[in-house]
Amino acid sequence: MARAKKAADGPTALRVVGKALRKVDATAKVLGVTKFADDLSLPRMLYCKLLRSPHPHARIVRIDATRALALPGVKAVLTGKDLPIPFGILPVSQDEHALALDKARFVGDPVAGVAAVSEEVATAALDLIAVEYEPLRPIKDHLDAVEHPEPRIHDYGDHGNLHKLINLEFGDVEAGFAAADVVREDLLFFEGNTHLPMEQHAALADWSPDGKLTLWSSTQTPHYVHRALAKVLELAPARVRVIATTNGGAFGGKSDPFSHEIVVAKLAMLTGRPVKITLTREEVFYCHRGRHPTLMWVKTGVKQDGAITAMHFKSLLDGGGYGSYGVASTYYTGALQTVTHHVPRYKFQGARAFTNKPPCGPKRGHGTPQPRFALEVHFDKIAEQLGIDPADFRLKHLVPPHSLTANWLRVGSMGLAECIRKVVAGSGWNEKYRKLPYGRGVGLACSSYITGAGLPIYWNAMPHSGVQLKCDRGGGVTVFCGSTEIGQGSDSVLAIIVAEVLGLDPFDIAVVSADTDLTPVDLGSYSSRVTLMTGNAAIQAAERARDLIARHAAPKLEAPVERITFAGRRVFDAASPERGISFAEAVQLAEAAAGTVGTVGSYTPAAGAGKYRGAGVGPSPAYSYSACVALVDVDPATGIVQVPKIWIAHDVGRSINAAAVMGQIEGSIYMGLGEALMEEMAYRGNRNVVHKIPSLLEYKSPTTLEMCDVVTYVVEDPDPNGPFGAKECGQGPLLPVPPAVANAVYDAVGVRIDEVPITPEKVFKALRRKEKGEEPRFGPLGFPDLPWPEPIRVAPPWEGGDGRAVEGGKGREKAVEVTAGRRR
């Protein structure tokens, strides 16, 4: 960490970092030259189509592909028994098969795969595959799953159709509630929604006669796909190469290993010909892995001055048909409640249900936008009850920087106060809140997000990110890194950081990323981890190259090595800058003296402070902070909500590329606005649980006409763990948007919409209730009783704990201790 601290100490010297630069790959994208996975084509290539289940829940009795195989042009047909080894992104939920083995678990679950000479022939072949199903009662949502433990969708899980049950308690919350002046309970619901990347998933597999498999795929996580392919295909990892093509948007929806990737790989192996698949938009809806629909109950005790005495939070997630990242998602719905405002005692109970719908997983903000929505609406109500302005309420009792939370998260730099002040001043909050005419209102919300998960997906002690650097005698520098460019600008971050350290132009740096044969492992573009983790790895590799080159340039420049400086593509004596040589000459000196100039760097986050079971979700090297004010117009006659403007302030630690930071923040606002107002994964529970609207036309996402004006304030409070102090900005700014809009609707027309999306129908109904003198609210009415396990009890840091679960628990807790002990 000393390395990052050093870099963060010298802001005045930065030449490239922090400027607003074009992304290094932008021109090719804008001109349409960038090759995405579907643009790839190889000689003799076959096309793959997947047959998908028309039943939400059914046993597969028999599959007969004889007629399909007889169709001219069909080269191979695969079914579940050809790929019997299960996989899944998390080691604890290896519950997927590339093709359904004995059971289909949602409408759209892949059942068979065809390789044929054209897409048309492959499509025609699907109709010739006869599948006999024995339908089972479908489980249509989380409440149905609670009521119907049978038939079980999976034969594993914590209880019936409840996949996961979590019960964590940090201190005695009941005592905390007893000490409060006001205790408030609220129920909220966050509907599921999907990523909607413009690029539909595509993959191309090639099997070489030398026994090596190459897969090009639009994936965010080539390393995890590499592992899944090796496992399911029973190939040595050394014989599998995964190349992540530039993603045309991902947002978390391309971070699982997918059926179609494994199927094209197997088909390529069987036919000896390259095989490609490009999913239809409808199939992208079936891949899903998007936002979990989440029912939430929250109870908080506060003192008159707004100080929280205790909080109890319950969540119930509708997980869909498979595990995916769901266990982590469930923990995330309870992890970050504690990092904005001081919560001295905290209890979290979380549950995830299996249902017969496409699996939910990580979408931008992974498991945290739902509880953040609940929390910020809840806080708005508490502030009103206490008679405190919501902005003042949020400025009080903030988590101090460089401190531990009740659930043992280690907060570093913390710029939330500055964020709140920026949006309050910028939006004219004090002149608007409670002062605008009926129908117009403002709402405020805050949030925080992790900058990279503290633990990898699978337990290992190796770095999370690795970088190799090659310095060419011509002066060229190539950065090799496993990180994946998904449009967020990760290739640019690598180029900028290396250019900063070596005094070069970022556009001169060659970036080779996301190729498991060529690049060292980076875990992938998820959890907002890339800038911090690959950034730190890149700094280490570049500083090692700099030191090596400086050592061999110093004698030539007749200057002590400490004075050797790199800037403007030159290497020179800081004391007399005219005394210098070109960077290329300096590399040549080093190469002549020490051989090929190559260095490596890597990054491993520090261990988390919590040692209890479940402590793996939540810790991060750094937390970003955001505050947001939304201005809304509500038409009382229709309930239609429009959002003309949003002010957002985001504590990014330090911008690496100021233009990309603005882009990520604005993009987050856009996505958050869609979730706030209209996006929802709607199903017809009474009609075979089909997805109601699997199309770009009918799945409503805002157009440019619905997008609001955005005023962005970038707050830079450098974090000691970040490269040059940088924290994340790609996910966090989404979080405050839905609650800010909900709070603004209340300011505008006096009704509480405790559920997103905030559709006209809901606002209209709430306004009708208000007219009739009923509770002016639309939202859930109850939280079901669940068979919670005994809580894992952990004392908060200020109550003398050491981050471990207390001794003397029952069976489950003993297991917890064993797990924690093994890990640490």
Partner 1 sequence: MLRLPSFKYLQPRTLQEAVAMKADAGPEGMYVAGGTDLYPNMKRRHQEPRTVISLMGIAELRRSDSGIVGRSNGGLVFGPCLTLTELSDSPTVRRSYSVLTHAAELVSTPLLRNMGTLGGNLCLDTRCNYYDQTYEWRKAIDFCMKKDGHICWVAPSSPRCWAVSSSDVAPVAVAIGAEFLLVGPQGERVVPAGRFYHNDGINYLTKQPDEILVEVRLPAPDGWDAVYHKLRRRGSFDFPVLGVAAWVKWEPGNGNRETGRVAEARIVLGGVASWPQEIPEAAAALRGCELGDDAIARAAAAAYRPAKPLDNTDFDLSWRKQMTRVHVTRALEELRGRR
805, 612 Cβ separation under 8 angstroms: yes
The reply on whether position 697 binds partner 1 by CB under 8 A is: yes
Report in angstroms how near the CB of residue 357 gets to partner 1 at its nearest: 13
623, 414 Cβ separation under 8 angstroms: yes
Q: Which is nearer to partner 1, 267 or 677 (CB)?
A: 677
Among 182, 584, 690, 711, binds partner 1 (CB under 8 A): 690
What six digits make up the tokens of 394?
């949020």
Q: ∠597-725-415 over CA atoms, to 5°?
A: 170
Among 43, 150, 461, 703, binds partner 1 (CB under 8 A): 703
In angstroms, the CA 743 to CA 447 distance is 14
The reply on whether position 772 binds partner 1 by CB under 8 A is: no
Among 403, 478, 604, 688, binds partner 1 (CB under 8 A): 688
Q: Which stretch binds partner 1 (CB under 8 A): 249-257, 496-504, 704-712, 771-779?
A: 704-712
In angstroms, the CA 750 to CA 501 distance is 54
Q: Which is nearer to partner 1, 72 or 209 (CB)?
A: 72
The reply on whether position 761 binds partner 1 by CB under 8 A is: yes
How far is residue 467 from each of residues 247, 438, 510, measured CA to CA in Å?
Answer: 21, 56, 13
Q: Which stretch binds partner 1 (CB under 8 A): 3-11, 277-285, 336-344, 461-469?
A: 277-285
Q: Which is nearer to partner 1, 472 or 706 (CB)?
A: 706
How far is CA 744 from its chain centroid?
Answer: 27
Report in angstroms how near the CB of residue 131 gets to partner 1 at its nearest: 11
The reply on whether position 35 binds partner 1 by CB under 8 A is: no
Site for partner 1 in 296-315 (CB under 8 A): none
In angstroms, the CA 530 to CA 533 distance is 5
Instruction: Name the amino acid, one letter, at 542.
Output: A
Q: Which residues lie below 8 Å from residue 624, measured CB to CB, with a gap of 6+?
A: 448, 449, 451, 528, 650, 651, 652, 653, 727, 728, 729, 732
The reply on whether position 600 binds partner 1 by CB under 8 A is: no
Measured between its terminal Cα atoms, the distance across the chain in Å is: 20
The reply on whether position 637 binds partner 1 by CB under 8 A is: yes
Question: Nearest to residue 439, comparing CAs of 646, 636, 655, 584?
Answer: 636
Among 432, 574, 706, 806, binds partner 1 (CB under 8 A): 706
The reply on whether position 638 binds partner 1 by CB under 8 A is: yes
Q: Which is nearer to partner 1, 67 or 231 (CB)?
A: 67
The reply on whether position 647 binds partner 1 by CB under 8 A is: no
The reply on whether position 120 binds partner 1 by CB under 8 A is: yes
Contact pattern from residue 189 through residue 218 relative to partner 1, giving x for each residue in contact according to CB under 8 A and a dash for the rest: -----------x------------------
> Do the strands 477-481 and 510-513 form a parallel or antiparallel pair, or are they unpaired?
parallel
Contact pattern from residue 150 through residue 189 relative to partner 1, giving x for each residue in contact according to CB under 8 A and a dash for the rest: ----------------------------------------
How far is residue 663 from each of residues 358, 655, 660, 730, 800, measured CA to CA in Å?
Answer: 30, 12, 5, 9, 44
Among 639, 653, 720, 796, binds partner 1 (CB under 8 A): 639
In angstroms, the CA 657 to CA 25 distance is 14
What secondary structure, in 3-state letters, does 407-454 show? CCCEECCCCHHHHHHHHHHHHCHHHHCCCCCCCEEEEEEEEEEECCCC
Q: Please tell me what DSSP assigns to residue 214.
A: E
Strands (E), 663-820: 683-684, 690-691, 709-715, 752-753, 755-756, 777-778, 792-794
The reply on whether position 692 binds partner 1 by CB under 8 A is: yes
Q: Which is nearer to partner 1, 541 or 756 (CB)?
A: 756
In angstroms, the CA 122 to CA 113 distance is 9
The reply on whether position 460 binds partner 1 by CB under 8 A is: no
Among 693, 769, 788, 809, binds partner 1 (CB under 8 A): 693
The reply on whether position 45 binds partner 1 by CB under 8 A is: no
Among 475, 750, 760, 779, binds partner 1 (CB under 8 A): 760
> Residue 372 half-sphere exposure, CB side, CA atoms within 13 Å?
32
Among 6, 281, 402, 435, binds partner 1 (CB under 8 A): 281
Strands (E), 33-136: 46-52, 58-64, 74-79, 103-104, 110-116, 130-135
Q: Which is nearer to partner 1, 362 or 639 (CB)?
A: 639
Q: Which is nearer to partner 1, 272 or 439 (CB)?
A: 439
Q: Decide: residue 14, CB within 10 A, 0-12 exposed, 13-18 middle, 19+ buried.
A: middle
- Residues counted in the chain: 824
In angstroms, the CA 815 to CA 100 distance is 33
In angstroms, the CA 40 to CA 215 distance is 11
The reply on whether position 338 binds partner 1 by CB under 8 A is: no
Among 89, 656, 678, 726, binds partner 1 (CB under 8 A): 678
In angstroms, the CA 767 to CA 633 distance is 14
The reply on whether position 117 binds partner 1 by CB under 8 A is: no
Report in angstroms how near the CB of residue 765 gets to partner 1 at its nearest: 8
The reply on whether position 288 binds partner 1 by CB under 8 A is: no
- For partner 1 (CB under 8 A), the number of binding residues is 39
Among 34, 59, 92, 119, binds partner 1 (CB under 8 A): 119
Q: Which residues lie below 8 Å from residue 795, measured CB to CB, with a gap of 6+?
A: 170, 171, 801, 806
3-state secondary structure of 186: strand
Report in angstroms how near the CB of residue 692 gets to partner 1 at its nearest: 6
The reply on whether position 97 binds partner 1 by CB under 8 A is: no
Q: Which is nearer to partner 1, 119 or 181 (CB)?
A: 119
675, 731 Cβ separation under 8 angstroms: no
In angstroms, the CA 247 to CA 218 distance is 5
Report in angstroms how near the CB of residue 583 gets to partner 1 at its nearest: 47
Report in angstroms how near the CB of residue 703 gets to partner 1 at its nearest: 5
Report in angstroms how near the CB of residue 336 gets to partner 1 at its nearest: 32
Report in angstroms how near the CB of residue 445 gets to partner 1 at its nearest: 24
Q: Which is nearer to partner 1, 73 or 428 (CB)?
A: 73
Report in angstroms how near the CB of residue 152 gets to partner 1 at its nearest: 22
- Alpha helices for 597-693 (secondary structure H): 658-677
Q: Which is nearer to partner 1, 277 or 740 (CB)?
A: 277
The reply on whether position 282 binds partner 1 by CB under 8 A is: yes
The reply on whether position 55 binds partner 1 by CB under 8 A is: yes
Query: Using CB under 8 A as the criterion, which residues of the chain lie in contact with partner 1 when the complex forms?
Result: 38, 52, 54-55, 107, 119-120, 123, 126, 200, 278, 280-282, 637-639, 678, 684, 687-688, 690-695, 697-698, 700, 702-706, 759-761, 764
